Structure 1
Amino acid sequence: MKPVRMIWTCLLGIALLISGCSSQGGAPDQEKKRLKVGIMLSDVGLGDQSFSDAAFTGLMQAQEDLDIFFDYRELADTTTYEQGLTELVEEGNDLVIGLGFMVKDSLESIASQYPDTTFLLIDEVSEQPNIISLTFKEDEGSYLAGVVAGMKTKSNVVGFIGGVDVPIIRKFETGYIAGVKASNPNAKVVSEFAGDFGKADLGAQIAGNMFEHDQADIIYAAAGFTGIGALEEAEKLGKLAIGVDTDQFFLAEKAVLTSMLKNVDVAIYSAVKTYQEQREFSESHLEFGLQENGIGLAPVRVVPMTKKEEQTFKTLKQQLLSNGIQ
């Protein structure tokens, strides 16, 4: 078991133990009313220091604040998404969450078999009546990351590394390119898709090629664990990088300029709170962007922005909120 995954597992055990103890003195009817949430994590699972960890954090916060109970499954343990989702449904969870676009087909299959269960699909959109879709405006956060990259590049070449070439990762790329061009029309963006979210060595190799052969001096990686390898390679070569999903500064403190924050924890917490209060969703599609605090940008470190750059950033951010990505 990976050290980080072990830490997350231990934290879950402690959280579940505390929640179990807190309910022992309650009446049986109170326990029946307690919301149960199950989540099938994305392919890499706990310890990805990104997407799954953020979702897990949101549910732990919901358990602490809202007194819900939650359980989870990882692909490494269930082998298939279908198996994990089935287990969560049959354990009596009121709300079952599928994390990531790759779980969509499996979630739709299981949802059709359990029409009385409510499902929440993160990062994709489904038309099935018992599936609520929750998506993010990743292009907005990536735009802000691009604005910073455009201002801070010295070579006028910056890179983008995507995990897999699918529409949602293209949203990251599109927003990033637009942001770079908004702050630096002379800058060039080179892109490459790794084809995998779980290979740090591959991310390091792609980043190394961009730095050494393309003359990029900043890379932005929307590639999960593969992206972590890119961040580490940037630090090794004395270059700059931009993290994704969570503030990844601590992974490569000499290299990570900022991180595009995809606040999965905030969105899941909000969705769970809504469902706990109403026992239903009034909308079939929930969307979180800058305005809803579903997207953001971590502090700019390593090479802080100048006063002039801060003003440019604020201006472009306001234009984004007012007019969208141009």
Structure 2
Amino acid sequence: MEEFALLRRLYRNMAAAAVAVALPLAASADDDQLSVSMLLAGQIDDNGFMEAGYNGLVAIRDELGAQIDYIDGVKPEPELLAAALRELAADGPDLIIAHGGQNNQAAETVAAEFPDLKFVVVQGAVTGPNLSSYEVLQEESAWLAGAAAGLLTETGTVGHISGIRVTPGLKGRGGFYHGLMHTNPDAKFLTTFAGDQDDNELSYRVASDEIDQGADIIFTMLNAGRTGAIDAMREHGVFQIGNVRDWYPDHPDVFIASAIANVSVPGLTAARDLAEGRWEGGQIVKIGLEDPDAVSLALSPDVPEEVRSRIDGLRQDIIDGKIEVSTDYDGPELTY
């Protein structure tokens, strides 16, 4: 196992070196070149959260001329995540980004073991002398998505599907629920954390069950497992609200909206802060609707103008502090 780990690290370093050669000569020849490593607890081609994080790492390379490295495909278990972080830390990069709130515990542990390195958790909630969290407030776009669902539902029943119970997902679900209640307090809300972000058979079954219970709009916070939900909704003529990015161009017959939370932004923002001397440990940096490149609600062209106008007003109310986005939820859940 140790030989395999060494070979894997050698391969990754060779790949990173090859990337650096492709960068401008000044960046690759600079002894002070920024080095950034990233841990992704999933696949970089999942069409969702992990791919967005990887895109942020690529942007760090392209914008800042940084040398980059990453590990993906790690199961979201604290021991495995900690081991991967230690592997990245052994190379001594300037910054290690743990992408996703499922890394909170592992990052807190490993950052304490490597006090001379800087760590960031994207969508995290942990801090330390050499550890900060950078978070896009996806609960704000989720709140707007819930508000839109409340205005658009015809059955009066709205669903939500997610996989693992991590803090950002729980906050997104809570934000969506409160947005729904704001515009349609009589709506019935169906929700589940089914246990897996990437299982298409599971997401198809869960979506079908919520549709059978009357849901005509379902908010999905999934990664590679989104395809199963899309298939179920297409079969039944039900609309989906996506997350992370705008899904309408890919499936215009299914997506009525997308609660955009561009999670490529936090890692890039952290790297910019480090490169420009602004990075500090011990803080949580929050990025919300005031930055539309990071957080927004994209609506289908089929959404009526009166709904668009109402959502625009609610967005401004959140920015102005007239509406506080609550993220709590203690109601019933579907179990599988």
* TM-score relative to the length of structure 2: 0.84
Give the residue type in structure 1 aligned to 2:318: L
Go from structure 1 to structure 2 and tell me whether the alpha carbon gap of 1:241 and 1:21 turns closer, same or farther (over 3 Å shift).
closer
Give the residue type in structure 2 aligned to 1:237: H
| CA distance in structure 1 between the partners assigned to 2:140 and 2:194 by the alignment | 23
- Aligned-pair distance for 1:223? 2.8
Could you tell me which residue of structure 1 aligns to residue 153 of structure 2? Answer: 153
The counterpart of 2:60, out of the listed 56, 59, 62, is 62
Maintained 8 Å contact 1:49/1:246: no
Give the alignment of 1:210-225 within 5 angstroms.
Answer: 210-212=210-212, 214-225=213-224
Could you tell me which residue of structure 1 aligns to residue 285 of structure 2? Answer: 286
| CA distance in structure 2 between the partners assigned to 1:193 and 1:138 by the alignment | 17
| CA distance in structure 2 between the partners assigned to 1:138 and 1:279 by the alignment | 24
Deviations 1:241-275 (A, max 9, x none): 01111222355331011111111112222221111
Maintained 8 Å contact 1:88/1:96: yes
* RMSD, aligned CA: 2.5
Maintained 8 Å contact 1:138/1:172: yes
Could you tell me which residue of structure 2 aligns to residue 104 of structure 1? Answer: 104
Say if 2:18 is the partner of 1:20: no
Give the alignment of 1:65-144 within 5 angstroms.
Answer: 65-76=63-74, 80-144=80-144
**Stretch moving more, 150-159 or 69-78:** 69-78
| CA distance in structure 2 between the partners assigned to 1:182 and 1:310 by the alignment | 16
| CA distance in structure 1 between the partners assigned to 2:138 and 2:111 by the alignment | 26
Go from structure 1 to structure 2 and tell me whether the alpha carbon gap of 1:174 and 1:26 turns closer, same or farther (over 3 Å shift).
closer
Maintained 8 Å contact 1:55/1:264: yes
SS of equivalent residue, structure 1 residue 32: coil
Say if 2:77 is the partner of 1:39: no
Give the alignment of 1:247-326 within 5 angstroms.
Answer: 247-278=246-277, 280-281=279-280, 284-293=283-292, 294-301=294-301, 304-322=302-320, 323=322, 324-325=324-325
Question: How many matched pairs?
Answer: 308
Give the residue type in structure 2 aligned to 1:240: F
Give the residue type in structure 2 aligned to 1:46: I
* TM-score relative to the length of structure 1: 0.86
Q: Which runs of 5+ in 1 are unaligned?
A: 1-12
- Aligned-pair distance for 1:27? 9.2
Maintained 8 Å contact 2:92/2:117: no
Deviations 1:154-201 (A, max 9, x none): 111110112123443221122111212222233221112201222111
Maintained 8 Å contact 2:111/2:117: yes
**Stretch moving more, 151-160 or 290-299:** 290-299
Maintained 8 Å contact 2:130/2:282: no
Give the residue type in structure 2 aligned to 1:216: A
SS of equivalent residue, structure 2 residue 276: helix
Go from structure 1 to structure 2 and tell me whether the alpha carbon gap of 1:207 and 1:117 turns closer, same or farther (over 3 Å shift).
same
Q: Which runs of 5+ in 2 are unaligned?
A: 1-13, 327-336
Could you tell me which residue of structure 1 aligns to residue 5 of structure 2? Answer: none
Q: Percent identity?
A: 25
Maintained 8 Å contact 1:97/1:121: yes
- Aligned-pair distance for 1:227? 3.5
Maintained 8 Å contact 1:95/1:118: yes
SS of equivalent residue, structure 2 residue 307: helix
